[in-house]
Amino acid sequence: MAAKQNQENLPVVLVYRRPQFNLPHRNRLSRHFILLDPADSQEPTSSFLSTYAQSVRALLCVGYSTITSETLSLLPSLELIVACSAGVDHIDLQECHRRGIAITNASVAFAEDVADLAVGLLIDVLRKISGADRFVRGGLWPVMGDYPLGSKLGGKRVGIVGFGSIGSEVAKRLVAFGCSIAYNSRRRKPSVPFPYHANVRGLAADSDILILCCALTEETHHMINEGVMTSLGKEGVIINVGRGSLIDEKELVQFLVQGKIGGAGLDVFENEPDVPKELFSLDNVVLSPHRAVFTPESLEALIDLTSANLKAFFSNKPLKSLVEIEL
């Protein structure tokens, strides 16, 4: 009886997810919150929300499940969205801003693992690791002789686009390799000891490598365009662990096919899971299926951060990873 009463006193959290998105470590969250999950119900989501969610104050958004203004209209009491993703472009930020709904994200939990993959992609592109692997496995070494030389990472000028928790972890790793760092973000960060560029084209002109770590917004959509790639130059390399639509993908494909830039390491694409087939045959391009954040350690950190944000909200304490909404 006591356990049932304790359960009834727990705060209610709405889980919002596509059926194919699982909520990791659900049992851990269930110890502290009552989880309402429409994906577990036979009712349509809209009916479920109308029936059960009128008084819900907190919503847990799993994966990249789209939250529109229409969805938000079914949640008149909503005050908080806890996103289980680094990016929040799948959420109607304008409506959240209008209604004063706070948003937290998971970039702090994912930062180290995403940074590791960004550096891994970069090393792979520069040293031609994946291409050399195919060369050996294909039996070409005895036939064709030595594989083409790769390029050293140390000493490269790296421009980081987006200097939040992920960008700062990327910089930390690349400084250790002997790279020089510059960055672009929405504004200059006084605590960051690296040169700041107010626009990406200027950053590209002063860099050998661009690493994209920023959020996707209307302002950043296709920010890596023909002009930026031209400024980066024929030896330049682009690494994208942000969102696919940060890059004008059609232009990127043409630049790579025509040899107008040196290479790319891509974990994200514009129309996932569809990837431009022209990239498949290019040995200077390394492809990854949007898995930068997925390690057992990052999922553990995600649950810790998610739980901490929800506990802070229901205790009227400061949120752990509040997203600044700028429109």
Specify whether 96 is located in the same domain as 240. Answer: no
**282: in domain:** yes
- For residues 289 and 309, what is the distance between their CA atoms, to the nearest angstrom? 29
Specify whether 41 is located in the same domain as 102. Answer: yes
Q: Pick the catalytic residue: 201, 243, 249, 251?
A: 243
Specify whether 122 is located in the same domain as 237. Answer: yes
Q: Please give the tally of structural domains in the chain.
A: 2
Residue 310 clears pLDDT 70, i.e. is over it: yes
- Backbone dihedral angles phi then psi of residue 74, each to the nearest 5 degrees: -85, 0
**146: in domain:** yes
**203: in domain:** yes
Prior bond of 276 cis (ω within 30°): no
**323: in domain:** no
Specify whether 24 is located in the same domain as 120. Answer: no
Specify whether 102 is located in the same domain as 245. Answer: no
Residue 5 clears pLDDT 60, i.e. is over it: no
**Does residue 201 or residue 46 have the better pLDDT?**
201
Q: Pick the catalytic residue: 43, 219, 272, 278?
A: 272
- Look up the domain containing 139 and give its range: 109-287
Specify whether 277 is located in the same domain as 134. Answer: yes
**325: in domain:** no
Reduced 3-state DSSP string for 239-301: EECCCHHHECHHHHHHHHHCCCCCEEEECCCCECCECCHHHCCCCCEEECCCCCCCCHHHHHH
pLDDT value, residue 325? 78
pLDDT value, residue 327? 64
Instruction: Mark whether 272 is an active-site residue.
Output: yes
Evaluate the CA torsion angle 259, 270, 80, 61 in order and state its sign: negative
Residue 321 clears pLDDT 60, i.e. is over it: yes
**62: in domain:** yes
pLDDT value, residue 3? 45
Average pLDDT over residues 44-68: 89
The CATH number of whichever domain residue 86 belongs to comes to 3.40.50.720
Specify whether 126 is located in the same domain as 75. Answer: no
pLDDT value, residue 48? 87
Q: Would you place residue 50 in the very low, low, confident or very high pLDDT band (cuts 50, 70, 90)?
A: confident
CA 26 → CA 36, 37, 237, distances in Å? 12, 11, 40
Decide: 39 and 15 in contact? Cβ < 8 Å: yes
Token pair recorded at residue 54: 């009128």
Specify whether 47 is located in the same domain as 115. Answer: no
Specify whether 121 is located in the same domain as 220. Answer: yes
Specify whether 152 is located in the same domain as 129. Answer: yes
pTM of the shown model: 0.92
| Contacts for 146 with CB less than 8 Å, ≥ 6 apart | none
- For residues 285 and 134, what is the distance between their CA atoms, to the nearest angstrom? 13
Residues in the chain, overall count = 327
Specify whether 183 is located in the same domain as 264. Answer: yes
Torsion of CA 163, 200, 231, 291, to 10 degrees: 50
**233: in domain:** yes
Specify whether 46 is located in the same domain as 181. Answer: no
**Does residue 40 or residue 81 have the better pLDDT?**
81
Least confident range of 2-6, 78-82, 111-115, 159-163: 2-6
Residue 287 β-bridge partners: 266
Q: Would you place residue 239 in the very low, low, confident or very high pLDDT band (cuts 50, 70, 90)?
A: very high
**326: in domain:** no
Average pLDDT over residues 31-51: 87
Average pLDDT over residues 37-59: 86
Q: Would you place residue 6 in the very low, low, confident or very high pLDDT band (cuts 50, 70, 90)?
A: low
Instruction: Mark whether 201 is an active-site residue.
Output: no
